[in-house]
Amino acid sequence: MTRGLFVTLEGGDGAGKTTQAQLLAEWLSDRGASVVRTREPGGTEVGALIRDIVLHHRGEVAPRAEALLYAADRAHHIATLVRPALERGDVVIQDRYLDSSVAYQGAGRVLGRDEVRELSLWAAEGLLPDLTVLLDLDPDLARSRLDADDKPFDRLEAEKEVFHAAVRAEFLALATAEPDRFLVMDATRPAAEIAGAVRDRVAGLLEARSGDVGAAD
């Protein structure tokens, strides 16, 4: 079966995911690839409604309800947008995916990481990325980047420092557990340097893929 490539970007708030997604998308488009840029939460119309609840609702959302809201966004997004794109053979570049759920809902809060991961895998019918770029950044530095942006914090950005430190540690643990899927980059490196390393990995994956297709013919 011909299948596209699924690349996700992960990391704390303010780590530069959007910049890297943009640079990768431009490079791939210039090479003639068909690229879909998307994000969670909020990559679909239904998702935009869910995003509004999880990021902007004032007051408490019970932890299981929050995990289910992210999972609901994911289920709809993967089924209606991401899988069809991959089946067409497109490259999907996505800001945040199930690793964010494990890191934010699993490690930072009262739910266990395994149950959060299982819930996400159920929602996405087992879909895992071909490559996950983790932009690793000290939460204190991330905070000063967000301060410089001069935008109001959303609900999660306003969480305490200890929460962000736990999220960072969980992302790094996830990367250690799945070294083949993850590319960990120091987010303080120049954006062009990070983009170069990401391109190298993506080029390798695309090459391997075209080799597979050749072998199957």
CB of 67 to ligand TYD, least distance (A): 8
Q: Which of residues 42-71 bind ligand TYD (CB under 6 A)?
A: 55, 70
Contacts of 191 (CB under 8 A, 6+ apart): 16, 19, 20, 23
Contacts of 4 (CB under 8 A, 6+ apart): 34, 85, 86, 87, 88, 89, 90, 91, 92
CA distance 153 to 121: 29
The stretch among 26-34, 78-86, 100-108, 188-196 that binds ligand TYD (CB under 6 A) is 100-108
CB of 91 to ligand TYD, least distance (A): 20
The stretch among 85-93, 101-109, 185-193, 207-215 that binds ligand TYD (CB under 6 A) is 101-109
CA distance 70 to 123: 10
Residue of the chain from 77, 83, 96, 168 that contacts ligand TYD (CB under 6 A): 96
CA distance 136 to 171: 8
Q: Which of residues 148-207 bind ligand TYD (CB under 6 A)?
A: 156
Give the x/- contact pattern for ligand TYD in 114-153, rule: CB under 6 A.
Answer: ----------------------------------------
